[in-house]
Amino acid sequence: MFKNQIVMKLCAGLALIFCLSASAEAARIKDLSGIKGVRSNQLIGFGLVIGLTKTGDSAVNVFFSIQAIASMLKKLGVTIPSGRIGQLQFKNVATVIVTADLPAFAKHGDTLDVTVSSLGDAKSLQGGTLLMTPLKAPDGKTYAVAQGPISIGGFSVQGASRGVQKNHLTVGRISNGALVEKEIKSNFNIKDEIILALKKTDFTTASRITKAINDDMKDEVAVMVDGRTVRVKIPKFYKNNASDLVTKIETIEVIPDSEAKVIIDERTGTVVMGENVKISSVAVAHGALFVQIKEEPVVNQPPPLAPENAETVVIPRTRVSVGEGQDKLLVIPTSVSLGDVVQGLNSIGVTPRDLIAILQAIKSSGALHARLEII
């Protein structure tokens, strides 16, 4: 007998609950902020990849591929008659966009990693080599030149009726594939002040960073501008040597503050709560409602002496049952810790997905003193 059972349970599922400590340990100022103006710059370029095994751009759909090839050959001294350009077919060439990040204080001759992405309809960049490609910044100037064999970290094997593919074949990388040709002028050491830009806006953390710097320097050199900015004046001892001051400041440890927040991902049932989350006195009732559906097909055979045209048929039989577990009521006192909240909810059989609905209801009642963020 064929048996198929479908069980659906409401308010159930696999998930994880993370109870994070928001301010248990100190962090370096280097990890909480960055130096204003010290950042990388994005570079981009248009290039050609050669050496493909008939997996490049098609001349029919990607007309600019032929134009790029003709322009490149012209620069190399090879002239193609204008009437023959449209007849060219290069299945082993692909047009690509090359991108890279030029780090702060990069020097002439430094190498950069580049990412090569197909621009046309190439099927794969496997085995290809990027030709010399100038990489430009938004100001239109060339700061690096990229060239070299592409690594895609995958493969594609195709047979007569089926094939196997691993990873993405139209995007690859060239490790140390670009050389810096132009430096961005900067004289960091002559600055009169440095500005720390916090990675997250928080007035309390900015105030603690300011106090920690002044205590370490034994002078009022740091001033909090706002919740994301701290201005540090260069002391006389560090004149013309701002880099040494930054090295000293970056190692100072500060206990960051954080907002009381509950993060909920309803797709996965994940709940993340910081230790600053507080709940006022509230009562929580929880019931375990479930629905169970069973399919049990029954085979009905013809009786003895039945007509010759009688057939054996399968009659479906569906059983539906609805039940509700024992309801429990939990009273949560005012201003309990996060651990007490989780322990109390677990005591009444709350699953992580149940917890999402309960937290939303507690927030609506005004008893949850934290920001509820659903992602």
Query: Taking 60 as the threshold, does the pLDDT of residue 302 lie above it?
Result: yes
pTM for the model stands at 0.65
- Least confident piece of the model among 99-108, 229-238, 245-254, 276-285: 276-285
More confident residue, 77 or 124: 124
Nearest to 100 by CA among 32, 6, 151, 173: 173
The SS3 assignment for 200 reads coil
Give residue-wise pLDDT tens across range 44-76: 999 999 888 888 888 666 677 777 777 777 777
Give residue-wise pLDDT tens across range 154-193: 666 665 556 666 667 889 999 999 999 998 888 888 888 9
- Contacts (Cβ under 8 Å, ≥6 apart) of 311: 302
Strand order in the sheet with 229-233: 33-35, 193-198, 229-233, 222-226
- Contacts (Cβ under 8 Å, ≥6 apart) of 6: 293, 294, 295
Query: Taking 80 as the threshold, does the pLDDT of residue 10 lie above it?
Result: no
Distance CA(236)–CA(232), nearest Å, equals 13
Give residue-wise pLDDT tens across range 118-155: 988 888 888 899 999 999 999 999 999 999 999 987 66
